[in-house]
Amino acid sequence: MAALYSSVTEEDLNGFRFSIDQIQTQVVKLEKQVNEVEQFYQSNDFKVNNSKNKGENKHLIGTKKSLQGDSHNEADADAAKGREELMRQFSVILSQITQHEWAWPFMDPVDVEGLGLYDYYEVINKPMDFSTIKRKMEAKDGSGYKNVREIYSDVRLIFKNAMKYNDKKNEVHVMARTLLNKFEEKWLLLLPKVDQEERRHLKEEADAQLETQLAQEATYANMTRDLSVELDKVDVHLKSLKALVIQNCRKLSSQEKVLLGTALPRLSPEYLIRALQIVHENNPNFQPNAEVVELDINSQNDYTLWRLNVFVKHALKVQGRTAEGTGVDHSNKTENKNYSKRRRVL
């Protein structure tokens, strides 16, 4: 590697290697972050707005955050009061039903064995009673009811089970049907408040989801901005490193230029295209895909010539190993293909 440079010490070369290793490590890290940001925006079907909308969104987000401290806690308190009041009113209905003179058959689980109801579990899939409902209402381990509708459903199940298992003329069936009708009448009076509370709960969930999404978008927007800054730093570092390499490159000798010029036509079409692209990267005016390509070796800068020199040597070695592996001489075919493409090296 030292042969590439003039007046370069081993310490300088170690510095180049260290800088390159640092850049590679940083690029790998940034690539992972870029993939994470892309996945977030793709999973959320994110659409980029114009600059005006971005400004409006930032304003709205800032306004929302400024109001959260004053209104968020109040909204939570109001919601909690609403749920407590709804539960209180439902408990009153439940108390009225359970205190009825005909409620006693439904207070505890059915004594299947004691009453000899051996087919009970064949008829009834989900037994229910008021003591089970009370236990679930008082549960503190998360196994209890989540809302009033769940309790309502289980109360109806008590009476539906009794009506299903017992004949219509059976007194238990009559008692169950009578209490169910009374319960439904009281439930209909409470239902508007239940609907109102459910709508408020849905709105709370939607607001919470929106707040979470806005927070995520803000996080990834900041990450995108930071990534842009870091990528710019890497680009600047690469340009400075490239400038340093060019500054320390020694010139190819005339003999080396002649050897390079004679080696280029021996490249396979694929390698020749890549070689011409190397020239284009450092000389934008050079057109590698033109119908007639004329490459003046002597007009290229030292950095380009050294890149070409290293690349061509490597490519010819690979071609040589490939030819040895197949046992076929492709040199004449390669030259004919290259000439058919009208590539000329002056």
Q: Is residue 21 part of a domain?
A: no
Q: Which amino acid, one-letter code, is at 120?
A: Y
Confidence of residue 50 (pLDDT cuts 50, 70, 90): very low
Q: Say which CATH number the domain at 280 has.
A: 1.20.1270.220
pLDDT tens per residue, range 308-322:
888 898 899 888 887
pLDDT tens per residue, range 54-72:
444 444 444 444 445 555 6
Q: Is residue 192 part of a domain?
A: no
Q: Which amino acid, one-letter code, is at 1?
A: M
Highest mean pLDDT among 46-60, 272-286, 313-327: 272-286
Number of domains in the chain: 1
Q: Is residue 314 part of a domain?
A: yes
Confidence (pLDDT) at 156: 96
Q: Is residue 284 part of a domain?
A: yes
Q: Which of 12-16, 86-90, 91-95 has the lowest mean pLDDT?
A: 12-16
Which tokens hold the place of 66?
A: 């400024």
Pairing verdict, β 343-345 and 293-295: parallel
Question: Which has more pLDDT, 307 or 342?
Answer: 307
What is the domain extent for residue 282? Answer: 254-322
Contact 260, 279 (CB under 8 A): no
Question: Is residue 82 predicted with pLDDT exceeding 80?
Answer: no
Identify which of 126, 123, 91 has the alpha carbon closest to the alpha carbon of residue 109: 126
Q: Is residue 123 part of a domain?
A: no
Question: Is residue 9 predicted with pLDDT exceeding 60?
Answer: no
Could you write out the DSSP letters of every residue in 119-131?
Answer: THHHH-SS---HH
Contact 103, 97 (CB under 8 A): yes
Q: Is residue 24 part of a domain?
A: no
Sign of CA dihedral 21, 22, 25, 27: negative
Confidence (pLDDT) at 179: 97
Question: Residue 38's CB: how many other CB atoms inside 10 A?
Answer: 13
pLDDT tens per residue, range 159-172:
999 999 999 999 99
What's the first-to-final CA gap in the chain, in angstroms?
28
Q: Is residue 299 part of a domain?
A: yes
Contact 267, 340 (CB under 8 A): no
Confidence (pLDDT) at 109: 95
Confidence (pLDDT) at 285: 82
